[in-house]
C-alpha cells in the first residue's frame, strides 16, 4: 500500500511540475528534508551494508584500490552553455568524464558540442528522452519511447543511459541498445524512488529469458552512483562545503569500491556572480583537487563505458546484489 501511494504521488508531482516555478519546487522539497535525513542517519551518506565485496569480485585492474567515474547530467540550456568549461575543469585535474544529454528536452544538443567532447576523450550518454518524469508511466508508452532513445544512442554513438530523476524500471531497460545504465545508487533517501541498490560496486543485469528479440539481448551493466548528487548536497541540504563527499570517498576507498558521482553543470556558479539556484564552483573544483592530490596513485579513473566493459568481461564470475530489477516507486 505504501509503495502504491508513493507511486501515485510521484505521478501527480510530475503532472503538475511544469506549472510550478523551480524555486518553489525546491522550497517545497526542503520542508521535509531534515526529517528524512534524521530517519536515515544510519544509512546515509554511508550504508555500511553496501560496502560488502561481491562474490567473485576480481579486483580493479593494475591493483588499483578503487575506481573513479565522473558523470554530468545536463538538464537545461544553462547547463549546455557550461559544458565546455566544466569539461576543461575535469581535464585540468587529469580526469575524463561522461556528459549525459536530454535528446528531446527543452534544449537542442549541438552536434559540434558532442564532437568537441569526443575529440577530447570524453563520453556522451543519453539522459532520458524528455526528462519529464513520465518515461515509465506504462510499459506500452516506454516501448514507444525506447525506439526514440535507441535512435539517439545510434546517432550519438552512445552506449549508456540514465533516467531523469533517477526513476527506473530496470527490467524494461532491456529494450534499450545499451551497454550500461546508471539510474541507481547505493543509498539515497532523497530521491522519489529511495530504494537503493545496496552496493558500491558495478554489477551485471542479465537479459530476461525468452526475450531475445529485445534490445539488450545479453544484458547490461548497472553503475550505481555512490556519492550524493551535487543538487542534493548544495541545493537541497545546503551543505556549506564538500566534506560529505570527502568523508564518503575515504570510506569507499577503504572498501575498494567505486566512486561514481553525478555533477550538473546547470547548478554550478562558474563565474562567481551568485547565480540563483547554483553553488560555488570551488565546491567541485576543490574536491577534484583533493582527489588528485590524495589518491593519484590509487585510483583507476575511467569513463562509464570502460568500467562497464570491464564488468562485462567478468560477468560470469560475479553475483548480483540483493536488488529487485523491477523497482516501482
Per-residue pLDDT of 10-56, as tens digits, reads 554 455 556 557 677 767 777 889 999 999 999 999 999 999 999 99
Give the bridge partners for 72, in sequence order.
99
Q: What mean pLDDT comes out for the span 191-197? A: 95
Closest by alpha carbon to 142, among 171, 118, 102? 171
Q: pLDDT per residue over 92-136, tens digit each?
A: 999 999 999 999 999 999 999 999 999 999 999 999 999 999 999
Position 253 pLDDT exceeds 60: yes
**pLDDT score of 19:** 52
pTM of the model: 0.90
Q: Which of 177, 202, 198 is nearest to 187 (CA)?
A: 198
Has residue 5 got a pLDDT over 70?
no
Bridge partners (DSSP) listed for residue 269: 280
Describe the crossing of helices 111-119 and 77-92 by its angle, rounded to 10 degrees: 10
Q: Are 65 and 256 in contact (CB under 8 A)?
A: yes
Q: How many CB atoms lie within 10 A of CB 238?
A: 10
**CATH of 2-206+217-313 among 3.40.630.10, 3.10.129.10, 2.120.10.80, 3.20.20.370:** 3.20.20.370
pLDDT at 4 over 50: no
pLDDT at res. 262: 98
Alpha helices in 72-225 (DSSP H): 77-92, 111-119, 139-155
Q: Which pLDDT value is given to residue 305?
A: 98
Q: Delimit the domains of the chain by residue range.
A: 2-206+217-313
SS3 (DSSP) at 64: coil
Per-residue pLDDT tens digits for 134-172: 999 999 999 999 999 999 999 999 999 999 999 999 999
Amino acid at each position: 500500500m505504501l509503495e502504491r501511494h508513493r507511486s501515485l504521488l510521484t505521478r501527480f508531482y510530475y503532472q503538475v511540475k511544469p506549472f510550478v516555478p523551480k524555486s518553489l519546487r525546491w522550497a517545497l522539497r526542503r520542508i521535509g528534508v531534515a526529517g528524512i535525513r534524521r530517519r536515515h542517519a544510519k544509512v546515509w551518506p554511508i550504508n555500511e551494508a553496501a560496502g560488502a565485496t561481491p562474490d567473485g569480485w576480481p579486483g580493479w585492474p593494475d591493483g588499483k584500490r578503487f575506481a573513479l567515474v565522473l558523470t554530468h547530467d545536463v538538464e537545461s540550456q544553462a547547463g549546455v552553455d557550461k559544458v565546455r568549461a566544466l569539461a576543461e575543469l575535469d581535464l585540468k585535474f587529469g580526469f575524463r568524464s561522461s556528459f549525459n544529454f536530454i535528446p528531446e528536452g527543452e534544449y537542442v544538443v549541438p552536434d559540434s558540442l558532442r564532437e568537441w567532447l569526443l575529440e577530447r576523450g570524453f563520453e556522451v550518454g543519453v539522459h532520458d528522452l524528455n526528462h519529464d518524469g513520465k518515461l515509465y508511466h506504462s510499459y506500452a508508452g516506454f516501448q514507444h519511447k525506447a525506439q526514440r532513445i535507441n535512435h539517439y544512442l545510434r546517432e550519438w554513438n552512445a552506449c549508456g543511459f540514465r533516467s531523469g530523476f533517477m526513476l527506473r524500471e530496470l527490467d524494461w531497460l532491456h529494450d534499450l541498445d545499451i551497454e550500461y545504465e546508471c539510474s541507481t545508487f547505493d543509498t539515497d533517501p532523497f530521491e522519489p524512488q529511495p530504494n537503493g541498490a545496496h552496493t558500491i560496486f558495478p554489477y551485471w543485469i542479465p537479459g530476461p529469458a525468452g526475450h531475445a528479440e529485445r534490445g539488450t539481448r545479453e544484458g547490461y551493466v548497472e553503475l550505481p552512483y555512490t556519492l550524493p548528487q551535487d543538487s542534493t548536497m548544495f541545493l537541497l541540504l545546503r551543505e556549506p562545503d564538500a566534506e560529505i563527499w570527502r568523508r564518503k570517498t575515504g570510506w569507499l576507498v577503504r572498501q575498494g569500491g567505486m566512486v561514481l558521482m553525478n555533477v550538473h553543470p546547470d547548478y554550478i556558479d562558474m563565474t562567481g556572480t551568485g547565480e540563483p539556484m547554483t553553488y560555488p564552483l570551488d565546491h567541485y573544483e576543490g574536491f577534484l583537487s583533493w582527489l588528485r592530490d590524495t589518491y593519484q596513485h590509487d585510483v583507476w579513473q575511467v569513463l562509464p563505458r570502460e568500467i562497464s566493459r570491464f564488468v562485462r568481461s567478468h560477468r560470469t564470475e560475479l553475483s548480483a546484489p540483493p536488488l529487485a530489477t523491477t523497482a516501482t516507486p
